[in-house]
Structure 1
Amino acid sequence: MAHRIGRPPREGSPAQGIATAIFAAALTTTGCQGMAMTQDSVPTASDSAQLGPLTEWPLRFLRHNFGITTYALQEYTVVYADRPYSGGPRPAREDVHPNSLNASGAGHLMIRNFPPPAVVKWKSRDGTPLEADVDIGEIFRDELVLYEAPREEISDRTPMVNPDIVMEINDRTINVYMRAYLSLKAPRIPDNRYSNSRNDLVLAWSRTY
């Protein structure tokens, strides 16, 4: 149906009075809704943590990435955040490249803190079957970012921190590490402008079974 545009009512007429009242009511209602939306849109302290450049310390994280690295075992399966991981025989860490652990990363991204514990089943180097539930949420229950850089060296322009959590299964031992990317105020190597960050692998938890 086509919409027609009629002539505006005469000034001072009853029709104009009605139109004015309707417009005023609509304006009042719109103003109230705008205020409510503004108030609702203000994030809580927990929701707003680390959504942009750093403004608060200590550093906290709301989401994390997850990965697995393995050594000195015959086979393994891990289920965490509804994603399965599995693999076959792996040599001891000392028989692999010396930087292999430090180079390990996380391929499962942006996991909301925290899913149920990781279910780990594996066979150690001598073939012993082992099982463990590793509670990532309990290990990082305070949601604090772990890092080794001195506070005074970290730039306030560090972007949002979604750290890597890396689980290492090594023979009969499970280690859990955190790696967080942090921008620095100045390069660590003066002549290398690309050395203005750190992402150290920090051990958070370890248990031998």
Structure 2
Amino acid sequence: MSTQPVYDPPNKTDPSRPLTFAQHDFGAAAYDTYGATVLYNGEYALKDDPETLAPSSATLGPDYRSKHLTAPWAGIRNFPGPVTVSWRSKDGSAHEARIDLAQLFADRHIRHQVPREQLAASGVLAEDPQILLEINDRTITVLTRAMVHTREPQVPGNRYSDFRNDLIQVYSHTY
């Protein structure tokens, strides 16, 4: 008999414990690939033309991930199954992968870079994370970001900048 792990309710308000989540947003993007498809939660998060080479990330600038990786599928309960990915790299080689997000995020911790003493003093300290899958030629990378509320503005003089939304790499594999 297999037992399913039991998880406490998500913690988004107690800075003395790790911040955790019970749902997430998801998105996928492909660069320097042909026909990339990403299937997650029974839906295509990405389905590119098999005959057209996706643009190179280099053409989008050094901070392309911050500007172009988004998670339009919101409120997905953790975790409906693995992500199934298929694509052809820039050289035409075919690749397939299954990414087990439940394993990558087994602890359900919201990854962030805000020191505990800089977290907001009260209220909700973090929002549900975005989980982002990038296919870039032969490499799959899984990243995450979550809005984490801070005590002080992050941009001097801008009172509306009391948060961080850092992009953090969780996994990468080159095929």
Amino acid at match of 2:59: D
Amino acid at match of 1:75: G
Which residue of 1 is the match for residue 95 of structure 2? 130
Percentage of matched positions with identical amino acids: 35
Distance 1:87 1:79 in 2: 12
- How many residue pairs get aligned? The number is 163
Secondary structure class of the residue paired with 2:160: helix
Greater strand percent: which structure? Answer: 2
Which residue of 2 is the match for residue 49 of structure 1? 10
Greater helix percent: which structure? Answer: 1
Structure 1 outlier segments of 4+, above 3 Å: none
Amino acid at match of 2:154: R
Which residue of 1 is the match for residue 166 of structure 2? 200
Alpha-carbon spacing, 1:141–1:45, altered in 2? closer, same or farther (3 Å) = closer
Report the TM-score, using the length of structure 1 for normalisation. Answer: 0.73
Amino acid at match of 1:188: Q
Q: Give the gaps of 5 or more residues in structure 1.
A: 1-43
Distance 2:81 2:133 in 1: 15
Counterpart check, 1:177 vs 2:158: no
Distance 1:191 1:208 in 2: 43
Which residue of 2 is the match for residue 75 of structure 1? 35
Q: Give the gaps of 5 or more residues in structure 2.
A: 1-5
- Which has the higher Rg, Structure 1 or Structure 2? 1
1:71-98 deviation digits (Å, cap 9, x = unpaired): 1112211110111121132122111233
Shift of 1:195: 1.6
Report the TM-score, using the length of structure 2 for normalisation. Answer: 0.86
Distance 1:132 1:122 in 2: 9
The one of 97, 112, 119 equivalent to 1:147 is 112
Which residue of 2 is the match for residue 92 of structure 1? 56
The one of 111, 121, 132 equivalent to 2:86 is 121
Alpha-carbon spacing, 1:182–1:143, altered in 2? closer, same or farther (3 Å) = same
1:98-150 deviation digits (Å, cap 9, x = unpaired): 33211211011111111111110001011111000111111111111101122
Which residue of 2 is the match for residue 33 of structure 1? none
Shift of 1:160: 5.5
Alignment of structure 1 residues 7-18 onto 2, 5 Å = none
Shift of 1:151: 1.7
Amino acid at match of 1:94: A
